[in-house]
Amino acid sequence: MSPVTGSTAKKTTTAKTTTTKTSSSTGKTAGGVPKKGKKKIAAAPLKSKAEAKKLVNPLFEKRAKNFGIGQDIQPKRDLTQQAKSGKPDKPTKRPNGIRSGMNTVTALVEKKKAQLVLIAHDVEPIELVLHLPTLCRKMGVPYCIVKGKARLGRLVHLKTCSSLALTDVNSEDKSGLNKLIEAVKTNFNDRFDELRRHWGGGVLGNKSQARINRLERLKAREAAHQRNT
Q: Model-level pTM?
A: 0.49
pLDDT tens digit sequence for 166-221: 998 888 989 999 999 999 999 998 888 777 766 656 778 889 999 999 999 999 99
User: For 187-226, what is the HEC assignment?
Assistant: HHHCCHHHHCCCCCCCCCCHHHHHHHHHHHHHHHHHHHHH
pLDDT in tens, 84-121: 666 666 777 777 889 999 999 999 999 999 999 999 99
Residue of higher predicted confidence among 64 and 214? 214
Please state, as a whole number, how many other Cβ atoms lie within 10 Å of the Cβ of residue 98: 15
Higher-confidence position of 51 and 172:
172
Domain parsing of the chain, residue ranges: 98-192
C-alpha–C-alpha distance, residues 160 and 150, integer Å: 4
Chain centroid to Cα 97, Å, comes to 20
For residues 140 and 190, the answer to whether their CB atoms sit within 8 Å is no
Q: How many CB atoms sit inside 10 A of residue 142's CB?
A: 22
What does CATH list as the number for 98-192? 3.30.1330.30
Q: What is the pLDDT, as a whole number, of residue 55?
A: 76
Distance, CA of 104 to CA of 94 (rounded, Å) = 15
Write the DSSP symbol of residue 140.
T
With cut-offs at 50, 70 and 90, classify the pLDDT of residue 57.
Answer: confident
Q: How far apart are CA 134 and CA 104, in angstroms?
A: 17
The secondary structure element, H or E, covering residue 108 is: helix 102-110
Q: From the CA atom positions of the chain, what is the Rg in Å? A: 54
Angle between helices 102-110 and 131-139 (to 10 degrees): 20
Phi-psi region of 100 (alpha: psi -120 to 50; beta: other; left: phi over 0): beta
